[in-house]
Amino acid sequence: MKPLISFFSSSIGKKMVMGLTGLGLIGFIIAHLLGNLLIFCGPKALNTYAQSLKDLGGLLWVARAGLIGIFVLHIFSAISLSRANRAARPAKYKVKKSVVASVASKNMGVSGSFILLFVIGHLFHFTLGKIQPEFFNLVDPAGRFDVYKMVVHGFQEKIVTIPYVFALILLGAHLSHGISSFFQSLGINHPVYTPLIKKIGPILAIVITLGYLSIPVAVLSGILKV
């Protein structure tokens, strides 16, 4: 047990934790997006999907708890590595590094913090019903929770849509650097496929961001309505 603890307390171990948790979070983000995009298939498709998740009962909360755990580990490892890097890095190297670093890479901590706040707000809104509670008890003709109407009504309000869009832009910036760096954290580097990974990262980040943004845009433009 002690060797394992020592390994994950080391710089290499923390990088592996950050890389693995990052990949896990990306997997969730993509799966969540695919589920959300069912809204374009109509109320029945989205509400059926939402009900299938609700029917998992306790397993759904176990999954949510596991996701939160992954999120916490990712944040903890990122903060720990950032502090260690700042402590070990000479001032001159710091200046030189900042010149060549991208805006996204230099602000990973800032974007990550805002994303965390967004996730908390998102849970209070769509999972716990503490934001816009008047839309949280809507029921469709089949007697299921009407997620479709809740989402449409929610994004019709600018107080909901503006923070959501802002958070998604930050998420895209975070992923554009993070997707590529996760592989580096896991020690996966090769002169042949590393350049390809660095290109795929920003492209995938853009696709994910546009996918999520398509929903509020469709609501505001009247494509999705109740």
Q: Which band of pLDDT confidence, cut at 50, 70 and 90, is reported for residue 87? A: confident
Closest by alpha carbon to 30, among 171, 225, 216, 124? 171
Q: Domain extents for the chain?
A: 2-220
pLDDT value of residue 2? 67
Q: State the DSSP code for 127.
A: I
Residue pLDDT, tens place only, 1-55: 666 666 667 777 777 888 888 888 999 999 999 999 999 999 999 999 999 998 9
Domain 2-220 sits in CATH 1.20.1300.10: yes
Closest CA to 167 of 110, 207, 219, 127: 110
Q: What is the pLDDT of residues 151-194, one digit of tens each?
A: 999 999 888 899 899 989 988 888 887 777 776 666 666 677 77
Q: How far apart are CA 61 and CA 174, in angstroms?
A: 27
Residue 101: the pLDDT is: 46
Residue 164 contacts residue 105 (beta carbons within 8 Å): no
121: left (phi over 0), alpha (psi -120 to 50) or beta: alpha
d(CA 76, CA 10): 13
The whole-model pTM stands at 0.82
Residue 196 confidence (pLDDT): 78
Mapping DSSP onto H, E and C, the string for 8-36 reads HHCHHHHHHHHHHHHHHHHHHHHHHHHHH
Around 191, how many Cα atoms within 13 Å sit in the side-chain half-sphere? 0
**Angle in degrees, CA 51, 49, 129, rounded to 5:** 55
Average of per-residue pLDDT values in the chain: 82
Amino acid (1-letter code) at residue 103? V
**Contact indicator for 168, 122 with CB cutoff of 8 Å:** no
What proportion of the chain, given as a percentage, has pLDDT over 70?
81
Predicted confidence at residue 100, as pLDDT, reads: 39
- Res 201: pLDDT: 82
